Amino acid sequence: MFYLRIGFARSIYDRLRDEYKEATSITQTNLPVKVLEYCRGLFTDELYQQLMSVTNQIERKLTKSDFDSTLPTPLSSTSPALEFVKSVCCLLFLLHDMHDDVMNLRRDLLKLLKLSEYSEMTTTNLSSLTSFVVPQLVCSNCNHYRDIDLYREINSTIDKDSDDEQYRQYQYICNQCHTAYDQTVIEQYLLNHLQRLVLENVLQDAICNKYHFVRNVYYKIYCDCGELYQNLHTTRLLNDTCIILAQIASKHQMTALQQQIQFLNRLNHWNE
């Protein structure tokens, strides 16, 4: 499937290169008409049928239990075929000129899975696209530094000789010297990041619910117009971050981070 998408992208690239070969400057942001027609023909004649076939094979041969066990959490509420459709359509939506074509493809793929394109399951919980990047993480052995995605870097795990998930140990590995990163450093970074989000949430401004004036006296509950004050921002970002970090902390046994997240969950009644 990887080669299928690469082949489609390469075909578009070659067509664009031929189109702009004699151009001295390029200011157009949308695809040229000829290239767009070529893309739609390629999309309809080849990619559409191939994606339908691959999706059907995934649906028949793979189940929920076939998800990679090294993922921070099992995707228990979905299926491999559905996650495949979400990921592919998310990439194809980058072709803004072909939005309608991709929407039709998405509808037909979901129909193949006997799902509605408007159901909550097909529009949310894009678990395969979740990401949490730690920038410039330095290896203590070779001093190589890189950005590491703690959520999606499933190939950077090592296991003890045990078939029991409970006794396995997962570590992030340097891709240069193959030494495990210091997990306490990663956990401390995550704790500091979480504390910054909490501080930003606590110190945010309150605004009038009606006229949106910023509260100038801290202890006032009501605006002079009689309306209640409300926070400028919701706790959605903090809540979403806690969900991701809880999965990472559970997988990598980061006890201090788990305790901090559990405290925030109780404080904000997120688990109720």
Structure confidence by residue, pLDDT tens digits, 172-193: 888 888 888 998 999 999 999 9
| pLDDT score at 159 | 54
| pLDDT score at 230 | 84
| pLDDT score at 272 | 56
What stretch of H or E contains 133?
strand 133-138
Give the C-alpha separation, 36 to 43, whole Å: 10
Q: 210 vs 95, 203, 215, 227, CA distance in Å?
A: 40, 21, 12, 6
| pLDDT score at 240 | 86
Count of CB atoms situated within 10 Å of the CB of 11: 15
Structure confidence by residue, pLDDT tens digits, 10-46: 666 565 566 555 554 444 445 567 667 777 787 777 7
Structure tokens at 34: 């000829």
- At 146, give phi and psi (nearest 5°): -160, 165
Residues of the chain with pLDDT under 50: 24-29, 70, 72-76, 125-127, 155, 160, 162
If you count DSSP H runs as helices and E runs as strands, how many of each does the chain have, helices first? 9, 4
Look at the alpha carbons of 176, 69, 166, 75 in this order and tell me if their dihedral is positive or negative.
positive
Residue carrying the six token digits 């592919």? 88
- Closest listed residue to residue 270, CA positions, set 230, 232, 231, 238: 238
Classify the phi-psi angles of 212: left when phi > 0, otherwise alpha if psi is within -120 to 50, otherwise beta: left
Structure tokens at 158: 């090592």
Give the C-alpha separation, 126 to 106, whole Å: 15
| pLDDT score at 42 | 77
The answer to whether the beta carbons of residues 148 and 174 sit under 8 Å apart is no
The answer to whether the beta carbons of residues 84 and 66 sit under 8 Å apart is no
